[in-house]
Structure 1
Amino acid sequence: MKRGYVTTGIALLYASSVLLLSALMPGATVSAQQLTQAQIEQFRQLPREQQERLARQYGIDMSLLERQGVGERERMEDPDTIRPRDQRDGRDMRDRREDETDEERKRREAKEKELKPFGYNIFAGQPTTFAPVNNAPVPGNYRIGAGDTVLVQLYGQESVNHNLVVDREGRIHIPRLGPLTVAGLTYDELKDLIRHQVSTRMIGMQVAVSMGELRSMQIFVLGEAYQPGAYTVSSLTTISQALLASGGVSDIASLRNVQLKRSGETIVEFDLYDLLINGDSSKDRLLQPGDAVFIPSRGPMITVDGEVVRPALYELKAGETLADALRFAGGHSAGAHLPAVRVQGVRDGQRQVITVNAETQGSRALRDGDLVYVPRIAEVLDNAIVVSGAATRTGAFEWREGIRINDILRSPTQDLKPDADLNYGLVLRERTDNFALTLYQFDVASALRGDAEHNLRLQPRDELIIFGRFMHESERILSGFASDEEKEAFEKKKKELRLENDLLPERERVSKDELKVFSEHSRHKILERVFSRIRTQGQVDGTGRMVRVTGEVRFPGEYPITENASVAGYILAAGGLRDSAYLARAEITRSVLEDGIANTEYVPFNLYDALLGNANVQVRARDQINVFRIPEWQNTVDVTLEGEVRFPGTYAVRRGETLRDVIDRAGGLTEYAFVRGAVFTREEIREQERQRLQALSRELRQEMASISLTEGGVTNYGELSQLLNDLVGTDPVGRLVVNLSEIIEGRTERDIELRDGDRLVIPGQRNTISIIGEVQMPSTYRYDERLGVREYLERSGGTKRRADNRSIFVVRADGSVEPFTQRRGWFSSANRVELQPGDTIVVPLNTSYKDNLQLWATSTQILYQMAVAIAAINSI
């Protein structure tokens, strides 16, 4: 390793010596300026002793060489001389923001939103050094002075570079040409002089002249500067560059009257707005040694806000007007309302507001402290028609004279959504003088075909509303009109509604059927928006502007009254008639005010004639149109037979038919039917059981609360809570206990008249006995007529410690319940229950084991009975 280091050092020394010798002329004295930067860097890498030896050998001044290397590096690195003012405090500011309170944060954010004076941030810098700036290009009119460096490159027969510094007498010394007086010459004149001297006195040589390091000078930046004082700058520095070098201006500086003072006189007054707004730098003069840039305090200030390009605070000169203020702000935006520009200021000791038309009164003079606010034009489109609802392209459309509905909606497949209602549409017209709403109803399909009655002529600001065919989103989803994204959004919204429903008090909860999500163009959503606009206007006579449609229509409810609608129109608004609608007669219920008293009138009419237009039936506000149902329309009901019947399925039966009648129609029972285990369910009973379970749950909670206030409280709270959860979460069966054997035998007093939704499930043969409840091993055993309840309990391991042995009961296969009672003692006796196949022995929990909750027995009996019925149905 050491040998490698020595070899590398010798090679570096040799290379450096060769580089130095190649740059030297034999027998000549070498100056530091003759060496290139690469040669200097190689020289600096040599050991100190080797540097001194080479310098003595070739007559090089070590101090000059070192200074030249440092100067070259500085020129190459060219460090920034200006940085943002708060750069070094950035971390402290972030720390302070993390520790600030809410009130401090609000004050800071409000301050950040305040308008700032224009132009101050452009010069907001902070000097990092007082060294002159040397990277600026040299203009042709630059005056050469003492201290400037001139770079002369001679090429032709030979190539020589000279770095020549103008001495104090204003001369430069070019080898083989002698001294030349250049002080006072411009840069262009200097180049011409040197070229002429070389061409005439050095035959065969050409020259390239450029400026090197420029002389530095001292100037003063005074007044409202960020850091006033004396600065050493380049000889090319201008007024604006001096402002940048001093870090900009203070918060109260004037940008309109920056003064250049020389020998006690003001040379020029520089309005920085000319530079910042117009790009005019004609007064940005070059500085000379000893010049002073003076920044006075600012003059009158105005605020320009609103619909302008650059809202800010602007400094005002005498005689400047509103037009000048808008010009300073970059002009107005496209949404500016120039006829109503507000000028707020102090006049005669009072704060006043003046409305000025900026288009015609732009020459109005402004004062100190004025606030110029340019308002925005109204967002209302006066020459447009708005389309909303179930249209593929909603929004504003251009209004033209004579435009009609089918000029906007041309095709039902291209301009309307698939679920659009083609029978019902509305035109909302708003008067411009009092904003009164007028509604017109039209048939969408007829309007698209060009029917003059429905293809209404539109006016400016009309709203064209297309309704959806469905009342809510669930109908639209089930009908297949929704996309996958809409279905996903619908399920998410439905879950949110269910969660919100669960959080409501029990009396405020709605059923699952009522948890409906409405789409944006459903009838409900659109009508809600229309009625909200109608209600905001009100009526002088107190009457509402709606008609109620009830009875046999698709969407019963309230609909807005329109100018051109009839009974047929309101029937179409309600989605049309159902198949069960009675056409021979309908009725209007009307409230009439007479002497301040409301009387009810009934107006019967022939619905068929009204729909055809043969009967003139007048409809008024707040009328109720009632469409009756055809008498005996639902004279058939649907009954379902399942299990061991010859032809199971759903049967339509006449009203009044019985259970035996439908069994006979189904071909009777099979030979495997377990008649005693038949389960008959009814929707009405299901709802009653649901209400009973909810009532039991409430009563149990109340009893738990009352016991918790007594001494000891509720000790088996976990079991109570589990029971309540079982009660609430159980889906009722709705079982009606029937004796199917007697019904089939023809005992009419046992037969049942069927209702819609009834269901009969007949399981197969079952020869088992089940034991459930508080036993060691709940299980099912083959039926043995020799065994009783106690024997089956012993086979299940006996009862548990918390079993209520006095309340054991048997659930028969037909759903009936019989208690089993046993006593022990000297005069013991047993009330033996004759078990039959399919029976279930239930051992309930001892409700008085620690807590006296009498409702437990009833609750557990209902739960066990429902469980037996569900087991019988699932066994098919």
Structure 2
Amino acid sequence: MRIKFSFLFLFFLCFFLSKNVVSQDIDPATVDVGALSDDQIQRIITEMDSRGIPEQEAMALAKARGMSDDQILQLQQRIQEYKLAGGGSAQIGDLPEPKVFAEGEVSKKEVIESTVVEEKRLFGYSFFNTDKLTFEPNATAPIPSSYIIGLRDVLIIDVWGNSQMNYQLTVDQNGNVSIPEIGQVMIGGMTFEDAEIKIKSKLNRIYADLSSDNPKTFASVSIAQIRAVSVNVIGEASSPGTYIVPGTASVFSALYLAGGPSENGSFRDIKLIRDEQVIQNIDIYEYLIKGKAKNNVTLRDGDIIIIEPYRQRIIIEGQFKRTGLFETKKGETVTDVVEYAGGFNENAYTHRLELYRKNGRDQEFIDVLEDNYSKIELANGDSIVAGKVLNRFQNIVAITGAVYRPGNYEITEGLTLSKLIENADGLREDAFLERGVITRLAKDFTLTSISFDVADVVNGVIDFDIQKDDNISISSIHDLREFRTVEIYGEVKEPGPFNYKEGMTLSDIVYESGGFLESASEAYIEVARRLGKEEEATLTDKVAQVYQKQISRDLKLLGNDGDFELQPFDKIFIRQLPGFAKQSVVTLSGEIAYSGQYALTTHKDRVSDLIARCGGFSANAYPKGAMLTRQIEKDTKNVMLKNELISRSTDVKSTSLDFEVVGISLDEIMKNPGGKDDVFLLDGDEIFVPRKSQVVKVTGEVLNPISSTYTKGRKLKKYVSGAGGFAVQAKKNKVYVVYPNGTASDTKSFLGIRKYPKMEPGAEVIVPTRAPRNAATVGAWVGILTSVATLGLTISNIVK
């Protein structure tokens, strides 16, 4: 009781917040309910919700403290109005928290998230549990003529014409509205249409002209504010409870708010109870399957919706448009559930269904044939499965090969092989007429082969009846022989294989390959030909016949060897002219008189010949440092072989350079032209004559890599010392020098004495890195010591 009186204190405290008065001694009878703000109404609702006190009990406490019945009625109406505007929820009696649904603004409360898979498979479950579909009444829509007038409905009566008047009337608890100068008019429980007629008839008492034949005064009746009604959804609902909805709401509106039937609720047997009488039975499948909403009646205050537990459910699987759990009524048959499932899909075998039934002890299987669909009644727990059609055809035959329209054809009555060939637009000109094959599937599914003479069938000498699944094959003459080609190699624009054609000549194949190259020798052409059948019949060493031919370069039809007729699989070789050579170009750059590209005049042009043609060296040239680089021909086989050899050695690394350095000494060459150092030049060679360098470069494992001024006679170690000396990881016995002309010289050692390479201007000293040593492990040292001890012991024994 202390909680209730504490709540009542806070309840009345909210009333006086607008007056800034906080007192427990204020008389509740003096409270002006109409002056309360929406914020104060919200605080009252919040207090009731948080303390769990029903509204009716709170109103009883308020009445006990002195509030009048009119004040309490007005307060209840303010709370309902606030809720209809989307402002909160209220509780009635001891039922769970009711849900408010009004003005088209209140969204449906989410149903329980942990829905099991079976619920989601239940047909109709998602109907009441989706945000894509609602049954919220449209508050702005015209009031239907069948709307029942009830308590707290607000009516507006407009009179215009010769007389003008406006009335706003509220239906009281007795169902009356009080019209000034007329009095009480009883309209509670009447339809809106009947109430309008009655009100207009009463208005005739003071507006006589209203019902005359030629009226000058007019009246209309409308509802300004519909009342809220309270309905209870009980039984197997997802969220049973009391729901406050507008007076225009329907049964589906309340079911939607309650989340529809639960996993055990019935979609086929929902009862609407009014005044303790069942006034409507609702079958939701009628709406879902047939779109009939005649049972979706308008609710009234105090209505009760009972969702009964389901009685029969079956499972539909297989080739139906809808599958899952479906609820059935007693007496419904397989035909009914096929309709509920939307019928069969395109892959369904419709002549028979599989029915699995639980009989209370075990299960039984029932074959449901198409003729019995309407006779087999369903039982709770039945499972119906529709199978797939077989992947086979009843009336198909195929013809392939040398006909104009190969493919599948329908078997008609009396279809023969000759008629089938005619249906395929007949034989092609390249058809092989000696033999065709019918591949037939026997009754035991073994394949049989039936041969026929194609020419005899076409000419009507013989014919065959065609059966289902026959496959007729008529080959082309080209299918029965090796694909025939000729190949041309050598000095033509497009060498390679070409299709053989009857009557093809040597000139023809040269023409098709793009003609001769400038390097081609038309006087030395070879044709290699397979041996004839007689020659191949005996074992000899001979493998081909070779013909040497000469044809005109312009390929004229002169009747000479150019008209030599080719045979399938001939190979033609066009040789290169013996003296043909591509122009070779070398490049000369650096400190010379005329740098640039030079053409070689003979195969024996040497370096000295090219220097003589370029006008000699400039004043700053350093011939001793001249470098010759030569292009490397990337032969695929050589590259593969080189990579294979490199992969076998872990100490050798591959390079991707496309040139190599040829070591020359240009100063020696010019002193002795034509000597052993004066190499022959090749196409693509490049010679660079540098300016004389004044420095020596030291790199690698030194403390300070640097370039030092060259001093004649200075030793290599002096240059290394100038670079800070050897680093810790320096491999001193492998120091080498790279000279300006690309050659290199390494360090020589004899009895521990190192002889380093001599130095020249522009040289580079390279100090390599010593490979890291693997430190001996404890186990290795133990092994060494053990071996030494064993050896010592052995020697001692020998001495003794």
Give, in angstroms, the shift of residue 542 of structure 1: 12
Partner in structure 2 of residue 464 of structure 1: none
Out of 662, 669, 675, the position equivalent to 1:736 is 662
Equivalences for 1:614-629 in 2 at 5 Å? 617-619=566-568, 628=574
Alignment-derived partner of residue 187 in structure 2: 182
Contact 2:347 2:388 in 1 (8 A): no
Could you tell me how far apart the structure 1 residues matched to 2:510 and 2:252 are? 80
Alpha carbons of structure 1 residues 124 and 304: separation in structure 2 relative to 1, 3 Å: farther
Moved more, 188-197 or 781-790: 781-790
Per-residue deviation, residues 597-656 of structure 1 (Å, max 9, x unmatched): 99996576879899999666455xxx6967656245544434332223444333443673
Query: Which of 677, 687, 693 matches 2:625?
Result: 677
Superimposed CA distance per residue, residues 300-337 of structure 1 (whole angstroms, 9 cap, x where no aligned partner)? 4534768x6x77766675363899468x37x98xxxxx
User: In the alignment, does 2:351 pair up with 1:346?
Assistant: no
> Cα gap change, 1:251/1:152 in structure 2, threshold over 3 Å: closer, same or farther?
same
Partner residue of 1:761 out of 671, 682, 688: 688
Report deviation, 1:189. Answer: 1.4
Q: Counterparts of 1:453-602 in structure 2 under 5 Å? A: 585=525, 602=544
State the Cα distance separating 1:121 from its structure 2 match. 0.9
Distance 2:598 2:303 in 1: 114
The 3 A distance-change label for structure 1 pair 42 and 783 is closer
Q: Does 1:302 align with 2:316?
A: yes
Matching residue of 1:104? none
Cα distance change, pair 88–834 in 1 and its aligned pair in 2 (3 A): same
Change (3 A) 1:325 1:175: closer
> Which residue pairs with 2:155 in the alignment?
151
Shift of 1:190: 0.8
Instruction: State the distance in 1 between where 2:100 and 2:515 align.
Output: 82
Q: RMSD across aligned C-alpha pairs, in angstroms?
A: 6.5
Q: Write the distance in 2 (CA, Å) between the matches of 1:572 and 1:578.
A: 12
Work out which of the residue numbers 157, 169, 178 in structure 2 matches 1:162. Answer: 169
**Measured at CA, do residues 248 and 786 of structure 1 come closer, stay the same or move farther in structure 2, by a change above 3 Å?**
closer
Q: How far off is 1:191 after superposition?
A: 1.0
Partner secondary structure for residue 171 of structure 2: strand
- State the aligned residue count: 583
- Indicate the residue corresponding to 2:201 in structure 1: 196
Q: 1:616 to 1:765 in 2, by over 3 A?
A: same
Trace 1:186-585 onto structure 2 (pairs within 5 A).
186-201=191-206, 209-211=221-223, 212-214=225-227, 216=229, 222=235, 225-226=237-238, 238-251=250-263, 255=267, 270-286=282-298, 293=306, 295=308, 296-303=310-317, 318=333, 320=335, 324=339, 328=342, 338=346, 345-346=353-354, 369-371=383-385, 432=407, 585=525
Cα displacement (A) at 1:264: 10
Q: Secondary structure at the match of 1:77?
A: coil
Q: What is residue 359 of structure 2 aligned with on the other side?
A: none
- Do 2:33 and 2:75's aligned partners in 1 also have CA atoms closer than 8 Å? no
Residue 343 to residue 257, structure 1, CA distance change in 2 (3 Å) = farther
Consecutive unaligned residues of structure 1, counting only runs of 5 or more, are 1-11, 14-30, 46-58, 94-107, 127-131, 333-337, 357-361, 378-428, 435-538, 702-723, 853-876
Q: Normalising to structure 2: TM-score of the pair?
A: 0.54
Alignment match, 1:443: none
Corresponding position of 1:637: 584
Change (3 A) 1:350 1:556: farther
Q: Describe the SS at the equivalent of 1:755.
A: coil
Deviations 1:144-178 (A, max 9, x none): 46x463525476666553312251xx554444323
CA contact (8 A) 2:746 2:756 kept: no
- Determine which structure has the larger helix proportion and give its number: 1
Offset at residue 140 of structure 1 (A): 0.9
Q: Secondary structure at the match of 2:205?
A: helix
Aligned to 2:468: none
| Offset of residue 192 of structure 1 | 1.5
Contact conserved, 2:608 with 2:674, CA < 8 A, in 1?
no
Does structure 1 retain, via aligned residues, the 8 Å contact 2:228–2:247? Answer: yes
How do 1:97-136 and structure 2 match up within 5 A? Answer: 116-124=121-129
Structure 2 vs 1, CA of residues 227 and 801 (structure 1 numbering), >3 Å: closer, same or farther? closer
Q: Is contact 1:115-1:311 (8 Å) kept?
A: no
Q: 1:677 to 1:290 in 2, by over 3 A?
A: closer
Secondary structure at the aligned position of 1:734 is classed as strand
Greater CA drift, 208-217 or 241-250:
208-217
Instruction: Specify the SS of the correspondent of 1:200.
Output: coil
Q: Deviations over 1:237-275 (max 9, x none)?
A: 544334324421234655456566789998666553442
In structure 2, the CA distance between the partners of 1:323 and 1:792, relative to structure 1 (3 Å rule), is closer
Separation (CA, whole Å) in 1 of partners of 2:348 and 2:769: 84
Measure, in 2, the Cα distance between the counterparts of 1:304 and 1:830. 92
Q: CA deviation at 1:747?
A: 2.9
Shift in CA distance, 177/786, structure 1 to aligned 2, threshold 3 Å: closer
Residue identity opposite 1:680 in structure 2: L
CA contact 1:774–1:799 (8 Å) conserved in 2: yes
- Counterpart of 1:185, as a letter, is M
SS state at 1:639 partner: strand
Amino acid in the other structure paired with 1:76: A
Q: Corresponding residue for 2:597?
A: 650
Percentage of pairs with the same residue: 20
* Cα displacement (A) at 1:737: 1.6
Query: Using the alignment, how far apart are the partners of 1:582 and 1:790 within structure 2?
Result: 64
Aligned-partner Cα distance in 2 for 1:590–1:313? 77
Alignment of 1:700-779 (within 5 A): 700=650, 731=657, 734-744=660-670, 745-766=672-693, 768-775=695-702, 777-779=704-706
Secondary structure of 2:584's counterpart equals: strand
Residue of structure 2 equivalent to 1:707: none
Closer, same or farther: CA 74–772 of 1 in aligned 2, 3 Å: closer
C-alpha separation between the residues in 1 aligned to 2:192 and 2:674? Answer: 132
Q: 8 Å contact 2:238–2:258 — kept in the other structure? A: yes
Query: Could you say which structure has the larger radius of gyration?
Result: 2
More displaced 10-residue stretch of structure 1: 186-195 or 685-694: 685-694
For the residue of structure 1 that corresponds to 2:204, the secondary structure is helix
Runs of at least 5 residues in structure 2 that lack an aligned partner in the other structure: 1-17, 20-29, 42-67, 89-98, 132-136, 210-216, 357-363, 392-403, 410-477, 777-800
Instruction: Decide whether the 8 Å contact of 2:315 with 2:323 is kept in 1.
Output: no
Alpha-carbon distance in 1 for matches of 2:666, 2:698: 24
Q: Give, in whole Å, the separation in 2 of the partners of 1:237 and 1:581.
A: 100
Counterpart of 2:610 in structure 1 is: 663
Aligned twin of 2:420: none
Query: What is the identity, as a one-letter code, of the residue corresponding to 1:676?
Result: K
